[in-house]
A and B are shown apart, each in its own frame.
Chain A
Amino acid sequence: MIGEIRKKRLIEAMLEAGLDGLVLYGNAWQNDYLRYAADFGILEGEGLAVVTRDGEVTLYLDDELEGERAAVECPEVKTVVAGDLIATVSGIIARLGNSRIAAGPKRHLPYGLAAQRGDLRFEDATALVDRLLMVKSADELNAVRSAARLADEGYAVFRNAAAVGKKDYELIAEIESFFRNEGVDDNFMIIGVGGPEVRGMAPPLGKILKSGDLVTTELTPCVNGYYVQICRTLVIGEPNEAQRKVFGIYNDALEAGLAVVKPGVTAADIARAENDIFRAHGLGEYVTSEYTRVRGHGLGLFPDTKPHILEDVSTVIEEGMSLIVHPNTYNPEIGYFVHGDSLIVRADGPEILTRTPRELFSVGARRAAA
């Protein structure tokens, strides 16, 4: 159903742009373009969707097991398993002659595909698809709302699992098990454990949780293809004064960012509102690329989609976008700290999706791993 709605929007956009065909690439990392057209959550290998202006979508996969799964999970899409993916799809495109074909995402499009197209060249489909990915239909937004519930429940599982003596990857095991039980297809998740020496988050390194540690995480469950993120930080034991003070700054920054969100402002406006709080506390250095990547980003069929919330991004925020605002960055006193909530942009401002309380959670230092 949601796949049909997306396909209709895609065809309309193609026709409006005067295109005869689209070629969209995807893999499990960068799956949004492919999933938008073919509604398949690819896991292994690579795929290409060929969309023609008459509304036909064919999914080409290079992995036999994935082809088998696609046939069951999305039977409405014609699936072809092609060991030589590039040659097969190039042959299909060649039959379309010199009609107007666009392809994307440009950066990831396989070299062989463009090389075999030769002088005819592909037009760049990146902007066309990016716009569809950013500004979502009502049904897509409902899917985003469903994922938000699981982000909150997932964080509760994470919080309950945290205990002195537990290893960081054991927390991930609890979360992933919970998510699989709940039908969550995928989850983008990184973690940080420790104090001022921690400058960012990464996959678990085997660290053992101890009293006084900050435990940071970004949880990003994917439900029916749509990702929603929550960022929170907890302390093992009672937070100290510095941790409480820093939490206040990040909470103010998050609220300042959220307060700006409405149609018509730019991504830069949101970032600036967050960063001004840090600058007011003499922490301006820590909102630069030396210490942080982005101050939030879009969410949808990719966990880190456009627009990136940065002071040099002029993308205009529109109704129907889904975003996370997160002033995550390093703090010299206590280490890397994260705090963020997902939202949908509505005409009257943000609809906050994640409902986990905005507090510095404390896990009893005496709560030991079983």
Chain B
Amino acid sequence: MRHGLIQWRENELSLADVKARQAHLQQAIVAAGLDGVLIYTNHVRSAGVTWVSGFTPYWSDGLVLVLREGLPIFLTALSKRVGEWVKSVAPTFEVAHSPFPGKLAGERLAKVDAKRLGVVELDRMPGGVVDEILSVLPVELSDATELFTAVRGQADRAELDLVRHTNNIAHEAFKAGDIDSRYAGDFTGPVERAVRLAGAEECYVAVAPDLSKDRRFIRTGGQELGRTFAVRLSIAYNGVWVRRIETFSAVSEIAARLSSVGAELDRASPALPADGSISAFYLPNGAKLIDWHLEAPHGTRPLKVVADARTPLAAPVPYGILTTAFTLDGETIVASRPVGIGNGSMREAAE
């Protein structure tokens, strides 16, 4: 669930920002000859609804129905009491309650005499919801994932500012970790605390406890830390997700080198395009690349691997998280940084 601070922050993501997104989606709906688009949400598959409304459910699930015009409708089985909370943290849609939100979606579609409904990630929509819709209205369902991805792929200034802010939270929080910690949990506990004190909505921590043995990340806090270890912070702040991985060592000579590499990555990353490429200039001098992948918001997923050494990027993304693993002077280093968030990253279409 979401445990952290959830509130409407007009200065960070304004009503005008969200309305502009809704308008872009409605234009695409009309252009595709659809009567509306339906997007599912829960706290795992939150990204689609968060983008179109600024809202993330802390628990349970819901649907957002975006029609050709008018305010989107959040359809939920949550109680009216919780509905008051929803409205207080996202004044961007109408909230409608029913024990059967799919049925309610069908009723709203019937009101506008809808014939064609696009569903983002139709295959993944809970089957019960689809059955409820069709029980009310025999509407033609089609997959609207591509349509949504095309609109969503355009970055806007508010989102990029939030990505930078969230990355800064992660950067600062890592300073709370004690590199002399014996166990992973001793290092990560204070780091997570720092993330949450900075007002994050959620924080997942994973550790690769000994990079000389294994580069895979796990969540167990009881693992003993090796000479070099990496920590992955996945942070949600005001609906935006950022991952940041840093590699640490208690050996002062290695620690100094890692710190210098980290600073260099921080300098180079923001301006790097989120286009599924990795620039030859990105890695430190003398580094040998082991592997890389690019993550980005995709459909209802806050972050998903969208490109790697074997798979090119299929569609533009609003920003990316580039993860690299490389060796340098005999040490394995893993790093993640946001890319495509420099001043030149916003395409004209997003204006």
The answer to whether A and B come from one shared complex is: yes
Interface residues of A (CB under 8 A from B): 27-30, 41, 43-46, 63-65, 68-69, 71-73, 85-86, 106-115, 169-170, 172-174, 176-178, 180-183, 185-190, 199-200, 202-206, 289, 291, 293
Most interface-central of B2, B60, B84, B126 (chain A CB within 10 A): B126
Chain B, Cβ-Cβ closest to A171: B196
Residue in B126, B192, B218 whose CB lies within 8 Å of A109: B126
Smallest distance from the beta carbon of B277 to chain A beta carbons, Å? 19
Chain B, Cβ-Cβ closest to A189: B3
Residues on B with C-beta less than 8 A from A108 are 126-128
Smallest distance from the beta carbon of B208 to chain A beta carbons, Å? 10
Residue in A45, A65, A110, A293 whose CB lies within 8 Å of B125: A110
Beta-carbon contact of B293 and A172 below 8 Å: no
- Bound CA span A181–B84, Å: 35
Q: Contacts A109-B126, A170-B197, A181-B186 given: A206-B216 contact, CB under 8 Å?
A: no
Q: Contacts A69-B217, A188-B1, A203-B3 given: A43-B196 contact, CB under 8 Å?
A: no
Beta-carbon contact of A293 and B3 below 8 Å: no
Beta-carbon contact of B304 and A63 below 8 Å: yes
- Bound CA span A63–B234, Å: 14
- Bound CA span A113–B79, Å: 30
- Bound CA span A132–B192, Å: 35
Would you mind naming 24 contact pairs between A and B with Cβ atoms under 8 Å apart?
A27-B42, A43-B204, A45-B304, A46-B45, A69-B219, A72-B216, A73-B219, A108-B127, A110-B124, A111-B125, A114-B127, A173-B196, A176-B196, A177-B192, A178-B189, A181-B186, A185-B219, A188-B59, A202-B58, A203-B3, A203-B5, A204-B4, A206-B5, A206-B199
Chain B, Cβ-Cβ closest to A65: B217
Beta-carbon contact of A112 and B122 below 8 Å: yes
Residues on A with C-beta less than 8 A from B190 are 177
Beta-carbon contact of A169 and B216 below 8 Å: no
The verdict on B214 contacting chain A, using a C-beta distance below 8 Å, is yes
- Bound CA span A330–B190, Å: 35
Residues on B with C-beta less than 8 A from A176 are 3, 192-193, 196, 203
Residues on B with C-beta less than 8 A from A72 are 214, 216, 218
Residues on B with C-beta less than 8 A from A172 are 3-4, 196
Beta-carbon contact of A174 and B193 below 8 Å: yes
Beta-carbon contact of B81 and A291 below 8 Å: yes
Smallest distance from the beta carbon of A190 to chain B beta carbons, Å? 8
Residues on A with C-beta less than 8 A from B4 are 169, 172, 203-204
- Bound CA span A15–B304, Å: 38
Beta-carbon contact of A28 and B43 below 8 Å: yes
Residues on B with C-beta less than 8 A from A41 are 219
Most interface-central of B88, B124, B199, B201 (chain A CB within 10 A): B124
10 new A-B contacts at CB < 8 Å, known A45-B304, A111-B123, A202-B58: A44-B303, A46-B45, A69-B218, A73-B220, A107-B127, A107-B128, A113-B127, A172-B4, A183-B222, A289-B79
Beta-carbon contact of A110 and B6 below 8 Å: no
Give the top 4 A-B pairs by smallest Cβ distance, nearest first. Answer: A112-B123, A173-B196, A177-B193, A181-B189
- Bound CA span A291–B186, Å: 41
Q: Contacts A29-B61, A178-B189, A204-B5 given: A169-B196 contact, CB under 8 Å?
A: yes
The verdict on B290 contacting chain A, using a C-beta distance below 8 Å, is no
Interface residues of B (CB under 8 A from A): 1-7, 42-45, 58-61, 79, 81-82, 84-85, 88-89, 122-130, 185-186, 188-190, 192-193, 195-197, 199, 201, 203-206, 214, 216-222, 234, 293, 301-305
Residues on A with C-beta less than 8 A from B301 are 44-45
Residues on A with C-beta less than 8 A from B130 are 111
Residues on A with C-beta less than 8 A from B1 are 29, 186, 188-189, 203
Smallest distance from the beta carbon of B117 to chain A beta carbons, Å? 13
Beta-carbon contact of A173 and B189 below 8 Å: no
Q: Contacts A72-B216, A107-B128, A200-B85 given: A177-B7 contact, CB under 8 Å?
A: no
Beta-carbon contact of A71 and B216 below 8 Å: yes
Beta-carbon contact of B58 and A183 below 8 Å: no
Smallest distance from the beta carbon of A284 to chain B beta carbons, Å? 18
- Bound CA span A291–B89, Å: 20
Beta-carbon contact of B81 and A111 below 8 Å: no
Smallest distance from the beta carbon of A38 to chain B beta carbons, Å? 16
Chain B, Cβ-Cβ closest to A304: B59
Chain A, Cβ-Cβ closest to B78: A293
- Bound CA span A94–B186, Å: 47
- Bound CA span A107–B60, Å: 13
Beta-carbon contact of B189 and A110 below 8 Å: no
Residues on A with C-beta less than 8 A from B58 are 190, 202-203
Residues on A with C-beta less than 8 A from B89 are 205
Residue in B43, B81, B122, B203 whose CB lies within 8 Å of A200: B81
Smallest distance from the beta carbon of B200 to chain A beta carbons, Å? 9
Q: Contacts A181-B189, A203-B58 given: A86-B219 contact, CB under 8 Å?
A: no
Beta-carbon contact of A203 and B2 below 8 Å: yes
Chain B, Cβ-Cβ closest to A116: B123
Smallest distance from the beta carbon of B47 to chain A beta carbons, Å? 11
Residues on A with C-beta less than 8 A from B6 are 202-205
Q: Contacts A172-B196, A176-B203 given: A181-B221 contact, CB under 8 Å?
A: yes
Smallest distance from the beta carbon of A28 to chain B beta carbons, Å? 5
Smallest distance from the beta carbon of A184 to chain B beta carbons, Å? 9
Smallest distance from the beta carbon of A130 to chain B beta carbons, Å? 15
Smallest distance from the beta carbon of B239 to chain A beta carbons, Å? 13
Beta-carbon contact of A206 and B7 below 8 Å: yes
Most interface-central of A172, A177, A185, A199 (chain B CB within 10 A): A177
Chain B, Cβ-Cβ closest to A180: B189
Residues on A with C-beta less than 8 A from B128 are 106-109
Residues on B with C-beta less than 8 A from A73 are 218-220
Residues on A with C-beta less than 8 A from B186 are 181
- Bound CA span A289–B302, Å: 33
Beta-carbon contact of B126 and A107 below 8 Å: yes
Residue in B84, B196, B197, B206 whose CB lies within 8 Å of A199: B84
Residues on B with C-beta less than 8 A from A183 are 185, 220-222
- Bound CA span A27–B204, Å: 15
- Bound CA span A190–B60, Å: 13
Smallest distance from the beta carbon of A159 to chain B beta carbons, Å? 17
